[in-house]
A and B are shown apart, each in its own frame.
Chain A
């Protein structure tokens, strides 16, 4: 997904996900902060998504996978319930700067029909608020400042697109008067 140089995709993959080690790995304790020790079986570590995914999917010869992956805290059931209740009040940026991209990557790994539904509904409900905010000349200074601060990176791009096109039309109209 995305191009090799897509900064947003790289940042998405750098977000941490909780992983549980299924095997004891000698000398890997430094990941956990235990400088000279071993990584014990069953210890939980936060690893970047790209690393966790590779370790979880690689099947070595005789064992099952090295680690098991859990959905990150940003996509925990508690968050999904909050989104179901009211998508507009959740601060997605605090959960994960690339919330939807992270969701899409997680959905590639886990089969969660419900999460697709919740994320789509959230995105739609928030998109219409974003459109209103982008169209409102008072912009982020008005009462929506909190909402605007909680936008994730995708939503910011959407806001910028909507804002720029509305501005382009306004600029054209004022240029017309100058002629």
Chain B
């Protein structure tokens, strides 16, 4: 009860994190390259498309100094295909974008550092920040979409379908179990965390006595010198 905020991120915090995603803009005015903490930004030359962080793109958009090119997965065609996939495959979410192939000696990149929302991103997968990015772009740059109302409707549908799946996932949980959450977005994790965490806590509380019994039995077995098969690895760890 010490902290008024629940664990995890609030929606504004998730949206803030989303603002570092790169999006493609078509500048209308020249702008010198900016030296920011995140690195040097390329100079803006009017007809040339340039990747910029979302927060800067939104700022320039509001000042009418640039247009934002929506990522390809935010087109009605891709969203319909993804929604179709979500409805047909009831056990699991649509997969996240594939990671690019890298030479074996380089460090792997993970989503926040991959340009998953620029104009040349994959069209057939929802990236981690799909909901936040879609909502923010629709709000600030609706005139850059071909069919903003349709996109908005499809985003709502997708959100409904996926949240329903997340809620249904708790039925297969047990005290030590898990839900497969591959491909779940940042805002969805933030929204589902309190509920799913609460269910798991409740289940563990109910089964606490069974867990305690198992621990006691394991300890007894170890003390009596009949190590069960599961303890072998633990014993090895202790020796090292």
Contacts and interface: CB of A to CB of B under 8 A. Distances in A.
Given A164-B194, A166-B191, A169-B187, A158 B202 contact: yes
Contact of B11 (A120, A134, A171): A171
Given A124-B171, A161-B6, A165-B195, A104 B136 contact: no
**Majority-rule SS of B interface residues:** helix
Nearest to B10: A168
B208 interface: yes
A154 B139 contact: no
A166 B187 CA distance: 10
**Majority-rule SS of A interface residues:** helix
A162 B171 contact: no
Contacts, number: 101
Nearest to B203: A120
B194 A124 contact: no
Interface in A124-155: 124-125, 127-128, 131-132, 134-135, 154
Contacts of A101: 205
A104 B198 contact: no
Contacts of A157: 198
A124 B135 contact: no
Nearest to B167: A131
Closest A-B pairs by Cβ, 5 of them = A172-B11, A161-B194, A131-B167, A162-B195, A107-B209
Given A104-B205, A158-B195, A168-B11, A120 B174 contact: yes
Given A100-B206, A123-B206, A176 B135 contact: yes
Contacts of B10: 168, 172
B206 A120 contact: yes
B208 A104 contact: yes
Nearest to A101: B205
Interface string A159-179: 001101110110111011101
B30 interface: no
Interface in B144-200: 163, 167-168, 170-171, 173-175, 187, 190-195, 197-199
B199 A158 contact: yes
A14 interface: no
Contact of B136 (A123, A158, A176): A176
17 contacts: A100-B206, A111-B209, A113-B210, A116-B207, A116-B210, A123-B203, A124-B199, A125-B171, A127-B170, A128-B171, A154-B205, A158-B199, A161-B195, A162-B198, A164-B194, A165-B192, A179-B139
